[in-house]
Each structure stands twice: as structure tokens, then as C-alpha cells.
Homo-oligomer: A and B are copies of this chain.
Amino acid sequence: MQPPYYAVIFTSVTNESNEGYSEMAQKMQSLAQGQEGYLGMESARNEIGITVSYWKSLESIRSWKQNLEHLEAQSKGRSSWYKSYTVRIALVEREYSFDLE
């Protein structure tokens, strides 16, 4: 992707009880894909989880944050799944890649 664009860096620690979590994560990923300004998403998890989503503008991030189903997921996340999380909103200024193929 051609900078500048935005990244939302979401780092989290989940509880032991994570019933319904991965279904919800999947659902939110599909929902985000349909949002205006969505550019992509990458996730990895072992001790902590890191999800980075990419967006055209602050405006598109704001709309996604306020999406009704997403608001419900956020609320459920705080009440059931997450021990802690941090959200960072960052302007990607530079990007470079290495690819063997």
C-alpha cells in the first residue's frame, strides 16, 4: 500500500475463558472488510494478541469504531474476553517489503 495511510495497532491479553471469542473475531474481520476506507488486516496471537488493521483515514477508523455490531463486540470484549488491551492509532509514513518470490 502507498503511504500515507493509517494503522490501528490493537494489542490484547485475553482471559482463560474465551468462549465465542474466535467466532466474534472472525465476524468482526468480515464486517471490517465491508467498511468504507478499509485497506487490510493482519493478526497473530500467542501469549498476547496483536491485530493491525489499515485504513484510508481517521474518518474511516472513527466510523468503524462506532459501527453498531462492532460496539457490541467491544462491550462483550471488555466484559468477557479481555484482561487488558491497548489501541494505538498511527499514521504510516513509510513502508518497504522483502519478498523471495
What is the interface of chain A, defined by CB distance below 8 A to chain B?
3, 7, 9, 11, 42-50, 52, 78, 82-101
User: Using Cβ atoms and an 8 Å threshold, which residues of chain B touch A91?
Assistant: 90-91, 93
- Between-chain CB contacts (< 8 Å), 9 pairs: A9-B92, A43-B48, A44-B49, A50-B52, A82-B100, A83-B101, A84-B99, A86-B96, A89-B92
C-alpha gap A90/B96 in the complex (Å)? 12
Task: A7-B90, A84-B99, A86-B98 given; name 13 further pairs at CB < 8 Å.
Answer: A42-B50, A43-B50, A44-B46, A44-B49, A45-B46, A46-B46, A84-B98, A84-B101, A85-B97, A88-B95, A89-B95, A90-B92, A90-B93
Contact present for A78 and B52 (CB under 8 Å): no
